[in-house]
């Protein structure tokens, strides 16, 4: 027993020595840990102003676990990155956007300089490049600052350029006015280019394509920029003198003196009609009295496009006349409807199949407009919005802008304030991502809609389809 007690005392003394040594080791480690914690905390506070908090578990506080310098640096970096992630992303996006815009404007400046190059090919390439930029982007500030430079360059291209260059310059002039919109800036462009455009149109030696392009530009720039009513009337009179040469003194088979100029006269008639839509009621009344009796002569023209243009112009004039007088009556209504019915059911074998199909489709609508005051409404979608074309006036205006803007017409309908004002769409609408997502229909709903439309279309066509193939099966 005494031995065992000695052993136990020895073991106790050994244990106490071990505990003392381990206590010293722990105290040293705790000192080091405290120093590490102090150093780490100071680093965190200086970089992220973060504070060390005790880890809470089960409602009791536990001592903070020591961590190394490497852990401190990782923690610091992670917290710094978390705090600055959003800010850096926004700043990066803004920087990228500004850089892209600067690069885009730098290229445009180069194209403007190239408009004065000695090489005709270089000038034409520059004109086409600027045209593409103006159809795909709104550049109001950029253009306003350089409108005089652009106008002077366009004048030179129109005066000294070949046919292709004149066409490209005329098209760019229309886009320039549409970009700037109604105001002093576009009025200056119109007044500077108006004499040159008229000179090219009247020049019999100029190419027909260039003259036709200048007619369109003259009408569109007047539609956008003419602030004084005298400018509007003088431009309309100039265009009227062009297409009225189509009215023969004695009605002939073609109804045309010079079939070579058909496209020029047709474009003049379209642009003249466009300007008529913004005239006061008193002027519209005079035009109806003068041209309604003569326009049906053009329905006998051999050119299918001229016949279609004359028919659509007649439908628009009837629409304007009925807006002025609800009980408007045309004197030679029977003769006119007879002509329209003949064109709507034309089966002349000497005419091309595509021409007859196009003509019949248009004149069915024209006949309904003249007889029943009806218009086949259309829907134009651009982004989440839609526009209803429910009149001949709106159809002509949309077709004109679509011809000039091309694939960029939807973009301008969404963003261009002037274009939206013309079609009475109100100011541009801004949608966030969530709203745009909610507006989209699901793939399944789209599939159901397409299936129903396909079945309805098949059923409608089956009624009109020739059943002679079924007769062969009977035998």
Mean pLDDT of 314-322: 95
Q: How far is the C-alpha of 271 from the C-alpha of 264, rounded, in Å?
A: 11
0.75 exceeded by the pTM? no
Q: In this structure, are residues 229 and 278 in contact, taking their beta carbons and an 8 Å threshold?
A: no
Q: In this structure, are residues 190 and 225 in contact, taking their beta carbons and an 8 Å threshold?
A: yes
Q: How far is the C-alpha of 376 from the C-alpha of 382, rounded, in Å?
A: 20
Does 284 score more than 90 pLDDT? yes
Highest mean pLDDT among 135-139, 195-199, 454-458: 195-199
Nearest to 273 by CA among 425, 410, 394: 394
Phi and psi, residue 332, nearest 5°:
-100, 50
Does 329 score more than 50 pLDDT? yes
- 450-468 pLDDT, tens digit each: 667 666 666 666 655 544 4
Q: Are strands 385-389 and 56-57 parallel, antiparallel or unpaired?
A: unpaired
Looking at residue 16, its pLDDT comes to: 43
Looking at residue 19, its pLDDT comes to: 41
Does 295 score more than 60 pLDDT? yes
Q: What is the mean pLDDT of the chain?
A: 78
Mean pLDDT of 357-378: 90
Does 110 score more than 90 pLDDT? yes
Does 431 score more than 70 pLDDT? no
- 142-170 pLDDT, tens digit each: 999 999 999 999 999 999 999 999 999 99
Looking at residue 24, its pLDDT comes to: 44
Q: How far is the C-alpha of 395 from the C-alpha of 416, rounded, in Å?
A: 19
Looking at residue 58, its pLDDT comes to: 39
pLDDT band at 331 (very low <50, low <70, confident <90, very high): confident
Tell which wins on pLDDT, 89 or 261: 261
> Residues 6 or more apart from 316 whose CB is under 8 A from it?
273, 277, 392, 393, 396
- 2-53 pLDDT, tens digit each: 444 334 444 444 444 434 444 444 445 444 544 554 454 444 444 444 333 3
Locate 451 and state its tokens: 């299936």
Q: How far is the C-alpha of 464 from the C-alpha of 458, rounded, in Å?
A: 10
Mean pLDDT of 92-114: 82
- 167-183 pLDDT, tens digit each: 999 999 999 999 999 98
pLDDT band at 113 (very low <50, low <70, confident <90, very high): very high
Looking at residue 5, its pLDDT comes to: 39
Percentage of the chain lying above the pLDDT 70 cut = 67
Q: How far is the C-alpha of 302 from the C-alpha of 360, rounded, in Å?
A: 15
Indicate the angle between helix axes 304-324 and 333-344, nearest 10 degrees: 140
Measured CA to CA in angstroms, residue 423 lies from 187, 321, 394, 417, 427 at distances of 21, 21, 8, 10, 11
DSSP, collapsed to helix, strand or coil, labels residue 57 as strand
Mean pLDDT of 369-381: 90
> Residues 6 or more apart from 321 whose CB is under 8 A from it?
288, 292, 328
Looking at residue 433, its pLDDT comes to: 53
Sign of the CA dihedral with 408 first, then 413, 416, and 418 last:
positive
Q: In this structure, are residues 379 and 146 in contact, taking their beta carbons and an 8 Å threshold?
A: no
Q: In this structure, are residues 186 and 231 in contact, taking their beta carbons and an 8 Å threshold?
A: no
Q: In this structure, are residues 139 and 172 in contact, taking their beta carbons and an 8 Å threshold?
A: no
Looking at residue 454, its pLDDT comes to: 65
């Amino acid at each position: 027993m005494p031995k065992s007690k000695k052993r136990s005392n020895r073991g106790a003394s050994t244990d106490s020595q071990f505990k003392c040594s381990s206590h010293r080791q722990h105290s040293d480690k705790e000192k080091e840990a405290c120093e590490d914690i102090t150093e780490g905390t100071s680093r965190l506070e200086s970089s992220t102003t973060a504070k060390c908090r005790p880890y809470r578990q089960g409602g009791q506080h536990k001592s903070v676990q020591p961590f190394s310098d490497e852990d401190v640096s990782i923690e610091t970096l992670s917290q710094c990155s978390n705090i600055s992630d959003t800010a850096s992303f926004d700043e990066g996006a803004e920087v990228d956007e500004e850089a892209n815009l600067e690069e885009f404007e730098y290229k445009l400046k180069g194209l403007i300089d190239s408009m004065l190059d000695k090489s005709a090919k270089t000038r034409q390439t520059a004109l086409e490049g600027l045209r593409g930029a103006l159809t795909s982007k709104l550049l109001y500030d950029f253009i306003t600052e350089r409108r005089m430079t652009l106008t002077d360059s366009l004048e030179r291209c129109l005066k000294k350029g070949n046919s292709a260059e004149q066409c490209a310059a005329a098209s760019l002039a229309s886009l320039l006015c549409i970009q700037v919109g109604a105001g002093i800036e576009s009025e200056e462009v119109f007044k500077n280019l108006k004499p040159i455009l008229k000179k090219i149109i009247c020049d019999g030696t100029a190419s027909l394509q260039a003259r036709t392009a200048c007619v369109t530009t003259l009408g569109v720039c007047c539609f956008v920029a003419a602030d004084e009513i005298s400018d509007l009337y003088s431009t309309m009179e100039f265009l009227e003198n062009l297409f009225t040469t189509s009215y023969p003194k004695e009605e002939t088979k073609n109804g045309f003196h010079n079939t070579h100029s058909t496209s020029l006269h047709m474009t003049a008639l379209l642009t003249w009609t466009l300007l008529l839509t913004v005239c006061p009621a008193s002027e519209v009344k005079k035009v109806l009295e003068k041209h309604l009796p003569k326009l049906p002569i053009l329905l006998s023209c051999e050119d299918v496009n001229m016949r279609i243009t004359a028919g659509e112009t007649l439908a628009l004039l009837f629409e304007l006349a009925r807006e002025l007088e609800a009980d408007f009556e045309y004197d030679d209504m029977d003769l006119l409807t007879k002509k329209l019915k003949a064109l709507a059911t034309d089966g002349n074998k000497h005419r091309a199949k595509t021409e007859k199909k196009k003509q019949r489709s248009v004149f069915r609508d024209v006949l309904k407009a003249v007889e029943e005051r009806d218009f086949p409404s259309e829907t134009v979608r651009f982004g989440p919005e839609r526009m209803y074309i429910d009149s001949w006036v709106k159809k002509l205006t949309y077709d004109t802008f679509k011809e000039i803007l091309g694939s960029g017409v939807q973009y301008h309908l969404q963003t261009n304030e002037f274009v939206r004002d013309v079609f009475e769409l109100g100011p541009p609408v801004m949608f966030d991502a969530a709203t745009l997502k909610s507006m989209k229909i699901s793939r399944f709903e789209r599939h159901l809609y397409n299936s129903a439309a396909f079945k309805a279309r098949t059923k409608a066509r089956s009624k009109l389809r020739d059943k002679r193939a079924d007769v062969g099966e009977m035998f």
